[in-house]
Amino acid sequence: MHFDAPLPLQSGASLSGYQLSYETYGTLNADKSNAVLVCHALNASHHVAGTYDGQANSEGWWDNMIGPGKALDTTQFFVIGVNNLGSCFGSTGPMHTNPATGRAYGTDFPVVTVEDWVDAQARLLDVLGIHKLAAVMGGSLGGMQALSWTLRYPQRVGHALVIASAPNLNAENIAFNEVARRAIVTDPDFHGGHFYDHGVIPKRGLRIARMIGHITYLSDDVMNEKFGRQLRAAALAAKNGKPEELTGYLYSTQDAEFQIESYLRYQGDKFAEYFDANTYLLITRALDYFDPARNFGGDLSQALAAATCKFLIVSFTTDWRFAPKRSREIVKALLDNRRQVSYAEIDAPHGHDAFLLNDPRYKNVVRSYFDGVAKEVSQ
């Protein structure tokens, strides 16, 4: 969808002549009351569910959650996935041509915030003729967008599902984001953000960024269970059906000695192949900046007074990036405003990643919540 009218941004800048990539699933009902907007996090896109014909491994990133008969049932709801501005999966972003200069935006792409994304999503809904969402839903950074929807467009949201999220990032989270950004920005192939002109990609920085991300998405427990101190050589032997024996150390500082090292390198390499470096900077910064309580002297209860919809808040016990206590802050602030809020704290071992995984208790909570939403929606 192309938009000609400039979008005013939180920074004071504005973005003119942009486009948004989006996908929809299911059928919009006659009174357009069954729409559910699904917001994505760092490295995901508008492709939230289903597969593309003839493309292997093309499942949407939340395909275990969204589809016919699934927790978010596309036979009942009209689901919309939108790629955010500044991302690298179709919507206007740093790799696209800056009309002002005729070359790729690069680091000249304006800094976008959660609020800006929400405004852009609202304009898309305007064009689709959807005045009010049955629900808005997201995990992690997507949860921040869902929360922001309830504050910027309270009359346009029936329900908000805020999963594995937080009312803002704490210092440690900002710190991890900053290290990842510095790794990218100081990669000589970054070229001040205009690497497209040089035909290179700051892959070294992207790899480091992704490795840090993976460590923080997983819990200590699941990492120990999945990798522990297993040596790569022992893992390879096991994979090839060879007898397990005590493999000697390689005594190397550069070879991947432990299985966890091999895993992280693989994930880093894969990510550097498809993700845009400038997008990584923009999206981590949107995470850093989100802080609805900021204009209320840090008082989250005051900040959330604007929200009028009903809420489901979900957190996961081993998530140390978006810890349950951060979700409980949201719950408390909503209750302070006497809002209707359900809260589920799922005892899951997988850390922050749990919100993307197929945990039956988690899925049942979401399914049951949407069963309630469906009753409010005319079929």
Q: Does 14 bind a copy of itself (CB under 8 A)?
A: no
Cα distance between residue 116 and residue 36, in whole Å: 19
HSE toward the beta carbon, residue 374, CA cutoff 13 A:
17
| DSSP notation for 56-104 | TT---TTTTTEETTSSEETTT-EEEEEPPTT-SSSSS-TTSB-TTTSSB
Cα torsion through 116, 118, 122, 128, rounded to 10: 110
Could you tell me whether strands 35-39 and 78-82 are parallel, antiparallel, or unpaired per DSSP bridges?
parallel
Q: Which residue type is seen at 162?
A: V
Q: Does 40 bind a copy of itself (CB under 8 A)?
A: no
> Are 170 and 329 spatial neighbours (Cβ–Cβ below 8 Å)?
no
Cα distance between residue 115 and residue 158, in whole Å: 19
Cα distance between residue 208 and residue 192, in whole Å: 18
Give, as ranges, the residues between 252 and 281 that touch a copy of itself (CB under 8 A).
Answer: 252-254, 257-258, 260-261, 264-265, 268, 281
Q: Which of 208, 300, 331, 373 contacts a copy of itself by CB under 8 A?
A: 208
DSSP 140: T
Q: Does 183 bind a copy of itself (CB under 8 A)?
A: yes
Number of residues written out for the chain: 379
Give, as ranges, the residues between 303 and 332 that touch a copy of itself (CB under 8 A).
Answer: 320
Q: Does 285 bind a copy of itself (CB under 8 A)?
A: yes
Q: Does 92 bind a copy of itself (CB under 8 A)?
A: no
Q: What is the nearest approach in angstroms of a copy of itself to the Cβ of residue 170?
A: 5
> Are 22 and 125 spatial neighbours (Cβ–Cβ below 8 Å)?
no
Could you tell me whether strands 18-19 and 2-3 are parallel, antiparallel, or unpaired per DSSP bridges?
antiparallel
> Are 120 and 86 spatial neighbours (Cβ–Cβ below 8 Å)?
no
**What are the angstrom distances between the C-alpha of 198 and each of 93, 204, 278?**
18, 16, 15
Cα distance between residue 114 and residue 316, in whole Å: 23
265 known member of a binding site: no
Query: Which one of the spans 28-36, 150-158, 216-224, 339-347 is the region binding a copy of itself (CB under 8 A)?
Result: 216-224
Query: Other C-beta atoms within 10 Å of 242: how many?
Result: 10
Q: What is the nearest approach in angstroms of a copy of itself to the Cβ of residue 187?
A: 8
Q: Which of 7, 80, 211, 331 contacts a copy of itself by CB under 8 A?
A: 211
Residue number, 61 or 280, with CB nearest to a copy of itself: 280
> Are 206 and 184 spatial neighbours (Cβ–Cβ below 8 Å)?
yes
Q: Does 227 bind a copy of itself (CB under 8 A)?
A: yes
Q: Does 215 bind a copy of itself (CB under 8 A)?
A: yes
Q: Is 220 a catalytic residue?
A: no
> Are 273 and 103 spatial neighbours (Cβ–Cβ below 8 Å)?
no
Q: What is the nearest approach in angstroms of a copy of itself to the Cβ of residue 222?
A: 9
108 known member of a binding site: no
Q: Does 175 bind a copy of itself (CB under 8 A)?
A: yes
Q: Is 140 a catalytic residue?
A: yes
Q: What is the nearest approach in angstroms of a copy of itself to the Cβ of residue 257?
A: 7
Residue number, 34 or 113, with CB nearest to a copy of itself: 113
Q: What is the nearest approach in angstroms of a copy of itself to the Cβ of residue 177?
A: 9
Query: Which one of the spans 46-54, 105-113, 139-147, 299-307 is the region binding a copy of itself (CB under 8 A)?
Result: 105-113
Of 319, 327, 350, 359, which one is the catalytic site residue?
319
Residue number, 33 or 87, with CB nearest to a copy of itself: 87
341: which strand partners?
A: 311
Q: Is 91 a catalytic residue?
A: no
HSE toward the beta carbon, residue 79, CA cutoff 13 A:
29
Q: Does 224 bind a copy of itself (CB under 8 A)?
A: yes
Of 33, 87, 140, 327, which one is the catalytic site residue?
140
Residue number, 23 or 291, with CB nearest to a copy of itself: 291
Annotated binding residues for substrate: 210, 353
- The residues of the shown chain that bind a copy of itself, judged by CB under 8 A, are 10-13, 107, 110-111, 168-172, 174-176, 178-179, 181-183, 185-188, 204, 207-208, 211-212, 214-215, 218, 220, 223-224, 226-229, 246, 249, 251-254, 257-258, 260-261, 264-265, 268, 281-282, 284-285, 288-289, 291, 294-295, 320
Q: Which residues are catalytic?
A: 140, 319, 352
